[in-house]
Structure 1
Amino acid sequence: MTESDRRFSYSEIDLNEDGKNEILVTMKGSYYCGNAGCTVYLLDNKGTKISGFTIVDGPVVIANSKTKNWSDLIIPSRGVNYLVKFDGKKYPGNPSMQPKFDGNIPAGLKVVLPNDAAVYTF
């Protein structure tokens, strides 16, 4: 893996209202990204992996709705927004296999992993 493959951005947000932030990490570089998008990991507040998402091509939006006490996520993949719901243990890994989020994303929803987020190297 090259140094340019060891880049990432992250955002913290409490997705399950337990008072502890979960961490969303988007990986950068050709090792983790292809022409359709990049890999994103969801970690708990101690850094343990909860879910991994493939083919994510933009910012993740936190929906107003919840499933099993976890916020639903609006995840773009291949130019389409998908509504991704927690199944009780994790979120499904391939957003494009989930229901499409039709219509415009309502103003005021929290955006995480914005395109202009700071980039770090590990």
Structure 2
Amino acid sequence: MIYIKVRYYYNRIDINGDGVPGVIVYLVGPFVCGTGGCSLVIFKQLNQSYQLISSFTLVNNPIIVSRNKTNGYNDLIMFVSGGGIEPYYAEIKYGANGYPSNPSVQPKVKPGTKVTGIAVISDDISTSPGIQF
């Protein structure tokens, strides 16, 4: 059997204002990352378990939960880079089917915009062993 190292980093935050913290999980490893970034999943707590809200590819940190809301959920700000594109910050808004899965095709945060919110995943992951599973 071959084992593939995948690390994850997580943080809990109430992303929809219901008073119950959800979980934002950033996955790092060869099968969940590429030149454009890694994978991210967001869960909301539902009774004694978790329900997937959205999953993303091509994610880099920092991941910021903005104070602005769309359709009852906080907007997300993600750094987009790699894969040959000019780096920028993207604004991801919650829609009818959850958050869009690819931040690299979302609108850019306009230069000079004051972003207010909480950076939920923002450490230098290259030096951290993370949590393996």
* TM-score for both structures, normalised by structure 2: 0.81
Kept after mapping to 1: 8 A contact 2:66/2:116: no
Which one has a bigger Cα radius of gyration?
A: 2
Pick one of 44, 62, 67 that aligns with 2:65.
62
Number of the residue aligned with 1:47: 50
Number of the residue aligned with 2:84: none
Structure 2 segments unaligned to the other structure (5+ residues) = 82-86
Please tell me the residue identity of whatever aligns with 2:27: M
- 1:90 equivalent to 2:98? Answer yes
Task: Show the 5 A alignment for 1:111-122.
Answer: 111-116=119-124, 119-122=130-133
Distance 1:34 1:70, change over 3 A: same
* TM-score for both structures, normalised by structure 1: 0.87
- 1:73 equivalent to 2:76? Answer yes
**Alpha-carbon deviation of 1:100?**
0.7
Please tell me the residue identity of whatever aligns with 1:120: I
Give the secondary-structure state (helix, strand or coil) at the position aligned to 1:34.
Answer: coil
Structure 1 segments unaligned to the other structure (5+ residues) = none
| Alignment root-mean-square deviation, CA | 1.9
Structure 1 window deviating more from structure 2 (89-98 vs 99-108): it is: 99-108
Distance 1:58 1:65, change over 3 A: same
Distance 1:104 1:47, change over 3 A: farther
Kept after mapping to 2: 8 A contact 1:3/1:121: no
**Alpha-carbon deviation of 1:22?**
1.1
